[in-house]
Structure 1
């Protein structure tokens, strides 16, 4: 397992700070995904498919049946869960959730026990409500990714698992330049193109597994055990 690709050199970290990204807020995210809801599957479904499949395959292998999918969107991943997993999905966008509910009904997904409009940074669930929490392409969307991480830790039992699939910023080259250039458009896009692993985790060593996903390593699967607080 290598963290090198996800950690930017000090010079680039300074440069990132010198060019702050546009701040996201709840309403800008809702507005963005109101625009994306009708075309999301066609535009993003294919390119994000491999990362989604890998995350759910890992969730299916992990112990425990109570699964929370954070940022469930249109429900593209829901048919992939093992029938024994009892899945609750949350999303901030009611437009995306409408598509997810249609998918659950049309596919007869009885193991999906709830789809709820909810802010991932302030969940209504009690502590230790789930065994596994999965956030696919969500960390770049929320206004405060570390707050998202803390909430996921809170609602997952000690000893459970947190899974993330996300785009993380490149260290250099043409992709890094493009991500830096797009960063001011975060509010329009609805996500942060220049998002780094350190924007999510205080210490990337908290992750026990970091795996690049096709296509071209554009997305990365990160597994973090929910260790009990000392």
Structure 2
């Protein structure tokens, strides 16, 4: 997978993303934001904001910056920022952000880890722009060890470029490769097939 394949895949998804994935992923979005523990005036980064479905869930007293590599997804996300000066969007590669060090109090990463070509590079950038001791929240699909889900993941593997994400991705490897202080992990969404990670920035 590379950036151009991702942009192409999400150009196809953009117009129908909310209808197809809105309800399916809603529990995970709400669970993540519900655990963030905001304080008034905090600055929040959402990596891979997509069509902006999560933006209305944040409290008004915090500032939210949403980034995405897909201009087509961001075009739809504008619907959730009109008239709200505390919400902004930027076309940006999560693996190479233009923000200064320690720019954000908290970072949310929803359904992105298996999309980017180099997840470790993205997480390195997230740790850089998040304040030391700040909170990082990730929700994503990780590989399922049970027979039927694993068979489905195997069948989907050759089509990862077309799908725009990796069907198989190890949670254990992800945590081992990224120096995060994990506070909590819990299952979310249908059948608990996705995992929510709350971590603290050790940088």
Q: Sort the TM-score into its range (normalised by shorter chain).
A: over 0.9
Query: How do 1:148-159 residues align onto structure 2 when only pairs under 5 Å count?
Result: 148-159=122-133
SS in 2 for 1:119: coil
Could you tell me how far apart the structure 2 residues matched to 1:180 and 1:201 are? 22
Instruction: Choose 206-215 or 127-136, whichever is displaced more.
Output: 206-215
1:184 corresponds to which of 158, 178, 193 = 158
Q: Corresponding residue for 2:7?
A: 30
Give TM-score, length-normalised by structure 2: 0.94
Distance 1:185 1:174, change over 3 A: same
Larger Rg: 1
Residues 141 and 194 in structure 2, CA contact (< 8 A), matched pair in contact too: yes
Residue correspondences, number: 201
Give the secondary structure class of the aligned counterpart of 1:211. Answer: strand
- 1:194 aligned partner: 168
The match for 1:208 is 183
Deviation for aligned residue 1:199: 4.5
Q: What TM-score does the superposition give when structure 1 sets the normalisation length? A: 0.83
* Unpaired runs of at least 5, structure 2: none
Give the superposition deviation at 1:207.
Answer: 1.7
- In structure 1, the residue matched to 2:84 is 109
Instruction: Give the Cα separation in 1 of the matches to 2:150 and 2:177.
Output: 22
The SS at the match of 1:47 is: coil
Q: Which residue of 1 aligns with 2:115?
A: 141
The list of structure 1 runs, each at least 4 consecutive aligned residues, that deviate by more than 3 angstroms after superposition, is: 203-206
CA distance in 2, matches of 1:109, 1:219: 31
| Displacement after TM superposition at 1:181 (Å) | 1.4
Specify which structure has the higher proportion of strand: 2
CA contact (8 A) 2:181 2:201 kept: no
Is the Cα–Cα contact under 8 Å of residues 38 and 62 in structure 2 kept in the other structure? no
